[in-house]
A and B are shown apart, each in its own frame.
Chain A
Amino acid sequence: MGLVFVHGIGNRTGKGAYTETVALRDALFERFLIARALPALAGTEIRNPMWGDIGAHLRWKHASLPRGRREKLGADVGELADLYSAVGGVPGRSLAGLAPADAVDFLFTVADLRGRSAAEIEDLADYAVALADGCGDGTAPAAGDEAAQRDDAQVLDDLDRLAGHADRGGGDRERLGRQGRFRGLGRRVLAAGLRRFRQQELGLPAKLAASALRRLGSENVSLLIGDVFEYLTTRGTREQPGEIVELVCADLDRASQDGPLVIVAHSMGGNIVYDILSHFRPDLEVDVFVTVGSQVGLFEELSLFRASDRTPPADQVPPRVTAPEKVRHWINVVDPADVLAYRADPVFAGPVEYDYPSEEPWAHTAYFRQPMFHKRLAARVGEALA
């Protein structure tokens, strides 16, 4: 039995904080999904097939992108502020105005993971567990008007207390020494990420905000389109599978050597895995298949899978497609704020749908950074296997 994570579009080794992001995601899987729902997987390797490196490559390095954008003569850390601008929001949101669970997810989303050491990642993951547990079931309301006036440092202190309380098992017993398992590194990473996010609010000329959508729709969208086309045109056939299919299947095979599989797939990764399970490798036994922020439902509506029915659609709505036979449980998670996430159950018979409503413009890229998401995912998988 093994856990395989299949990433979505736009991932490349060495791009941004890819290595650190994988390390944190693995650490969070170990502490939530594996520890709480799949204890048999404790100590086994989490496999992360890196298909992005053999995905789309732009020969002229994005030369076809219309530029004409405003340049900044210094650090350009505006991606998150751009997201807010693009959806007409205000970057300067109050952390104190959020419910504790939302504040925790927000902090982990804006954390800058680049260059973080293994110790920092591990501490951050421990801190995530304590914070998520400190937030209970995540339904605590946002702070009242008075508490909402607290500044960032005060809110971080509040969350620190919440985490410390949870780490002590919820009791008030004091420890004469270092408090809790975490060493303060995680909190420092979160504080630095928040400070960096706040910097983005300073002095952004209006023209920059107006072009935010163009900036966002730049290289990442080119990669998104490129990766989708690259997969569809090179996936090959069952007899001669393409490079991406072979690479992902190799990890699925390795992970399944000791029994059934647990596959978590994000975005385009979900489409690739569904294509594999429904056509290339229908023999693979999968205990749990989790698609997150994925487009499997849309791709099936468009008959883009190898197993899809390509006959012209009739007027009446067809019956739902049967999910791959050897997939025992299929969970599809959609954040309604994620413009790239599609429902599966109206198209397929089998998947169980869950919403993870963040209401954040960065929903598509944030799922696996958020402690509360990992906590809920572990609970859902646990329920499915019970």
Chain B
Amino acid sequence: MTEIEVDTGDGPRVHAFVVGVAHYPYVGKGRGIGPARRLLDDLGQVTVPEPSAREIAEWLLTVPRQPGDPPIGTVEVLISAPHPVKVRAPGGAAVEVENAVHDNFSAAFRRWLSRCETDRDNVAIFYFCGHGWRHGDQLLLLEDLGEDPELVLANSVDLGVIRARMHLTGPRLQAYFVDACREVPPDLALSGSRPKPLVDVPEPDGPLDVIDAPVFFSTAMGHPAFGDDGAVTPYTEGLIAALKGLGARRRGGQWVVTASSLAMCLPDILDWERVGEATQAVRIEGQWAGQGVLHSLAGAPLVPFRIGCEPPGAPLPERVTARAMIAPGVVSAVRVFEAGGGHLPAGLYEIDAGYPPDSRFTGDAIYRQIDTPNAILPFTIRPRFPDRS
């Protein structure tokens, strides 16, 4: 059992379930016949789910919560790798976690479900990183997938079942993060296989509550997801950056990360880090991504910015001076940056493009609200004419 308790006191809590699968001992070994053989052989070993799931789990386990936010209650962690995996728990102790086989997943899911059901004001967070397929709903492929090639999908999980069950009795705010491929191999339909049942989903006895329960998929339906060998995936890196603040929006004097602010910011955060690269496209599906608060910040988030020039191709200024404006004409701080850009706390700034006196170019100061998730500051650059006076 790897349920790590953080704060299980009274009142609403955040209960998270984090799964990473970086070990598939039954794939790529020529097991099975027909469609099962091809399905299992097409999957390879991956490393990225281990650091990705660990990073998410450790952030959840150690993140400081602001007054008014429900504290982190429990974090269920299952991570499969070729070696034992430990995560850093509150207080710094390293806790060895169980592997993500179906039996462990099933038990952990039931514990998570029970925790989530204790209060409709709880917050439920689900994260998965590993191999995935799309077959009806999203399939999450666990470590023991293909253990019995005659029941090739038995040790997979149908995300739709989890969400449907959670909708019945789970909290009003749920967020699902799935970092996995969503391709539809033609052999899936031919296999006739189904995931082993996880939990019954009874018919609701009335209209279901309206809840916030979006699913943030790392890629579009029918498309693959990627990660760089041994590193946290780009999607998960972006997700953590968003939760730490880049996905926050100012509300009532406080910076908060909500399901809807995440939906707006997360795609931009991923694109920002990979300029010019064809990237996988984050897709948000499921129930409405509303205003329920996932996380509040202690202050304004640090927002990355870059300098953009008009006309395009004009030389960048050597440096940029940013003056934070706390009221008209009142400057609180002055910071100087190199030409490429930097990070500034979200807020209003007067920004000067600095060209040396002997430069052939100059640019006017601009006033700009630096806002999440990132900003491009568009300076209009013009030639400097010689002083003929």
Interface, chain A (partner B; CB < 8 A): 14-16, 67-77, 112, 114-117, 192, 195-196, 199, 202-208
Task: Pick 8 A–B contacts, CB within 8 A, sort by A.
Answer: A70-B229, A71-B228, A74-B181, A75-B183, A114-B41, A115-B36, A115-B37, A115-B41
Given contacts A68-B229, A115-B33, A206-B278, A73 and B48 within 8 Å (CB-CB): yes
Q: In the complex, what distance in Å separates the CA atom of A369 from the CA atom of B130?
A: 34
Contact B132 A74 (CB under 8 A): yes
Contact A203 B227 (CB under 8 A): no
Q: In the complex, what distance in Å separates the CA atom of A115 from the CA atom of B187?
A: 11
B44 to chain A: which residues have CB within 8 Å? 71-72, 76
Q: In the complex, what distance in Å separates the CA atom of A305 from the CA atom of B218?
A: 55
Q: In the complex, what distance in Å separates the CA atom of A6 from the CA atom of B133?
A: 39
Given contacts A67-B229, A203-B219, A203-B223, A114 and B38 within 8 Å (CB-CB): yes
Instruction: Give B1-43 interface residues, CB cut-off 8 Å to A.
Output: 30, 32-39, 41-43
Interface, chain B (partner A; CB < 8 A): 30, 32-39, 41-44, 46-49, 129-133, 179-183, 185-187, 218-220, 222-230, 233, 277-280
Given contacts A115-B35, A203-B280, A73 and B180 within 8 Å (CB-CB): yes
Q: In the complex, what distance in Å separates the CA atom of A196 from the CA atom of B188?
A: 12
Q: In the complex, what distance in Å separates the CA atom of A203 from the CA atom of B223?
A: 6
- Distance in angstroms from B142 CB to nearest chain A CB is 13
Given contacts A75-B39, A199-B183, A205 and B32 within 8 Å (CB-CB): no
Given contacts A74-B224, A202-B224, A205-B226, A115 and B181 within 8 Å (CB-CB): no
Contact B229 A71 (CB under 8 A): yes
Q: Nearest CB to that of B32 among chain A residues?
A: A115
B180 to chain A: which residues have CB within 8 Å? 73-74
- Distance in angstroms from B273 CB to nearest chain A CB is 13
Select B227's contact among A73, A114, A202, A206, beta carbons within 8 Å: A73
Q: In the complex, what distance in Å separates the CA atom of A116 from the CA atom of B230?
A: 34
Contact B37 A75 (CB under 8 A): no
A117 to chain B: which residues have CB within 8 Å? 33-34
A114 to chain B: which residues have CB within 8 Å? 30, 37-38, 41
A71 to chain B: which residues have CB within 8 Å? 44, 46-48, 226-229
Q: In the complex, what distance in Å separates the CA atom of A117 from the CA atom of B38?
A: 12
Question: Beyond the given A68-B228, A68-B229, A73-B227, could you list 9 further A-B residue pairs with CB under 8 A, ordered by the A residue number?
Answer: A69-B228, A71-B228, A73-B226, A75-B39, A112-B38, A115-B35, A115-B41, A199-B185, A203-B223
B47 to chain A: which residues have CB within 8 Å? 71
B33 to chain A: which residues have CB within 8 Å? 115, 117
A70 to chain B: which residues have CB within 8 Å? 226-229
Q: In the complex, what distance in Å separates the CA atom of A67 from the CA atom of B229?
A: 7
Contact B41 A74 (CB under 8 A): no
- Distance in angstroms from A265 CB to nearest chain B CB is 25
- Distance in angstroms from B355 CB to nearest chain A CB is 34
Select A73's contact among B34, B38, B179, B185, beta carbons within 8 Å: B179
Most buried by B among A72, A115, A202: A115
Q: Nearest CB to that of B30 among chain A residues?
A: A14
- Distance in angstroms from B322 CB to nearest chain A CB is 33
Contact A207 B224 (CB under 8 A): no
- Distance in angstroms from A364 CB to nearest chain B CB is 22
Contact A192 B186 (CB under 8 A): yes
Q: In the complex, what distance in Å separates the CA atom of A208 from the CA atom of B225?
A: 12
Select A72's contact among B181, B186, B222, B278, beta carbons within 8 Å: B181
The 10 closest A-B pairs by CB, nearest first: A74-B181, A115-B37, A75-B42, A203-B223, A73-B225, A71-B46, A115-B34, A73-B180, A73-B181, A76-B44
Contact B222 A202 (CB under 8 A): yes
Most buried by B among A75, A117, A206, A207: A75
- Distance in angstroms from A17 CB to nearest chain B CB is 8
Q: Nearest CB to that of B227 among chain A residues?
A: A71
Contact A16 B132 (CB under 8 A): no
Contact A72 B42 (CB under 8 A): no
Contact B131 A73 (CB under 8 A): yes
A195 to chain B: which residues have CB within 8 Å? 186
B226 to chain A: which residues have CB within 8 Å? 70-73, 205, 208
Q: Nearest CB to that of B190 among chain A residues?
A: A192
Most buried by A among B30, B33, B132, B133: B30
- Distance in angstroms from A179 CB to nearest chain B CB is 23
Given contacts A68-B229, A114-B41, A199-B183, A75 and B34 within 8 Å (CB-CB): no
